[in-house]
Amino acid sequence: MSLSVVEIVLLLTVGGWLLLRHFGNRYEDSRRRRSAMDYVLLLRRLLEHLPQHRGMANALLRGDASFRDKLQAMQATVSRDLREIERHPSHSDTARWRRIKADWETLSAGVASLEPQQSFARHTQLIAQAIFLLDDVDKAHDLAVDLRDGAGDLLMAAIGRLPRLMEAVGQARGIGSGAAAEGRTTTATRVKLLYLDDQIGTVAQATFQGLEAALRGGRGVQGGLGPDAVGQSRKLVDEFRAMLQNELLGRERIRIAAGDYFAGGTRVIEDGLGLFDAMVALAIGQAGRLELQRRASYRQAWGFFLAFAAASIGAGLSLGAA
């Protein structure tokens, strides 16, 4: 049985609409992924400031009053980070997020009354949840799925590896600055620092090897990171471990000032987070270009569909008049 002209036009119209929906969904997926990458950078700032607050609180609670004003300023910074995260379009009010907010509000209100060990443990639990939230965003949006030429591998290294390395350094910075504030290390503190020193070495080796492999395998991504960005980060980690081993673990009485040791750890973390930013920026640039391409394709598809629909209506009216 042959189809009438009207039926053929109807089938073509439905097919065109489905194709238009396909282009629209691809564009919307790209837009959401690029927006989620911007959101990742906001979470990265939180993961920079929470460990700083932890280390400052640890030093203050162990007797170094020079950290009092710094702690209050950092507390305001973390609260501002949380507000900016909530305002972002990619934010979701998940159970994990509500836990992070509630834990921060309780911790920031009562940190001055905590024992140093309590403060450090509660900060560390909060930071772990923030790292898991970063993982949640990647799983929800499949961030690397459309990236090419090594950018996807770098983004996955940035999200999956660098925050954990920086957190190990952050814990060593916080515990070590507390010990430096007291001028000595207890057996328990030494055990923790020995463990963290080993963990930093192990995680750094895996992280930097993975980054170097991604840079070697990727075309066009190396320039965005500078000629030896990974080598510089590796060097700073090695220098921090040497300071940890020589100034804290290698002495009966600690001579290094808490502020100097804290600053050494901060240099490592700031450099690592700068590397994180560069990797995410590469991904955002590529995702942004793809978003523009798909938006153009979507608009072009709309033009074709509207032109076809207009022609079909005109043909139908002509047939009806005939």
pLDDT for res 225? 65
Q: Is the pLDDT of residue 182 over 70?
A: yes
Residue whose tokens read 């999956």: 160
Q: How confident is the model at residue 106 (pLDDT cuts 50, 70, 90)?
A: very high
What are the structural domain ranges in the chain?
5-140+150-321
**CA distances to 103, 106, 117, 171 from 113, in Å:** 15, 12, 12, 21
CA gap 141, 294 in Å, rounded = 17
Q: How confident is the model at residue 43 (pLDDT cuts 50, 70, 90)?
A: very high
Please, what's the largest Cα pairwise distance for the chain? 104
Residues 6+ apart with CB under 8 A from 119: 54, 57, 58, 61, 107, 111
Mean pLDDT of 96-121: 94
CA gap 281, 277 in Å, rounded = 6
312 touches 10 (CB < 8 A):
no
Lowest mean pLDDT among 97-106, 126-135, 258-267: 258-267
pTM of the model as a whole: 0.80
Residues 6+ apart with CB under 8 A from 30: 146, 287, 290, 291, 294
